[in-house]
C-alpha cells in the first residue's frame, strides 16, 4: 500500500465525524435510559460502577462545553464580519435637516456627535 493510498483511506474513514458522534450519543442515551429503568430506588451500587458513571458524565459535559464554545466563537466571527462589512470607513452618516428638496442644513453624525455644516449653492 502506498502512502497516499493510506492517507486517502484514513481520510475517508473519518469524513463523517458528526455522524459517528451522534451514533455514539444515541447508544449512550439508550444505555443510560435502560440503566435508569432497571435501577431500583435506594439500590446499593458498587463503588467502581458509581465512579464510571461519574467519569462518563464529566467527559460528556467537557465535550459539550468545548463544542458550545467553538460554536460561540464561530458565531462571534460571523457577527463581526457582518458588522464590519456594513460599516462605513468614515464612521459618519449624513442626514438632511430642513424643508426637503435639498434645502436647509445637513448634519453629519460622527462618533463624537453631530457636526453642523451649511449647504453650499
Q: What is the pLDDT of residues 89-119, one digit of tens each?
A: 555 555 544 555 555 554 555 555 555 555 5
Cβ distance 83 to 76 under 8 Å?
Answer: no
- Strand ranges for 14-112 from DSSP E: 93-100, 103-110
Cβ distance 107 to 97 under 8 Å?
Answer: yes
Total domain count, the chain = 3
34 and 12 belong to one structural domain: yes
34 and 56 belong to one structural domain: no
16 and 34 belong to one structural domain: yes
Query: Does the pTM of the predicted model rise above 0.75?
Result: no
98 and 120 belong to one structural domain: yes
CA distance 108 to 117: 8
Across residues 60-70, what is the average pLDDT? Answer: 96
Supply the range of the domain harboring residue 13. Answer: 1-41
71 and 82 belong to one structural domain: yes
Q: Look up cell 459618519; give the residue.
A: 92
Q: What is the pLDDT of residues 7-43, one digit of tens each?
A: 555 555 567 789 999 999 999 999 999 999 999 999 9
Amino acid at each position: 500500500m502506498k502512502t497516499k493510498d493510506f492517507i486517502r483511506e484514513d481520510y475517508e474513514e473519518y469524513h463523517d465525524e458528526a455522524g459517528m458522534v451522534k451514533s455514539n450519543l444515541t447508544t449512550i442515551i439508550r444505555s443510560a435510559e435502560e440503566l435508569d429503568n432497571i435501577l431500583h430506588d435506594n439500590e446499593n451500587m458498587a463503588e467502581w460502577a458509581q465512579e464510571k458513571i461519574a467519569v462518563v458524565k464529566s467527559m460528556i459535559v467537557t465535550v459539550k462545553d468545548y463544542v458550545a464554545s467553538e460554536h460561540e466563537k464561530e458565531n462571534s466571527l460571523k457577527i463581526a464580519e457582518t458588522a464590519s462589512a456594513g460599516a462605513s470607513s468614515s464612521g459618519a452618516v449624513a442626514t438632511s435637516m430642513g424643508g426637503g428638496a435639498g434645502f436647509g442644513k445637513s448634519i453629519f453624525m460622527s462618533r463624537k456627535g453631530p457636526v453642523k455644516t451649511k449647504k453650499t449653492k
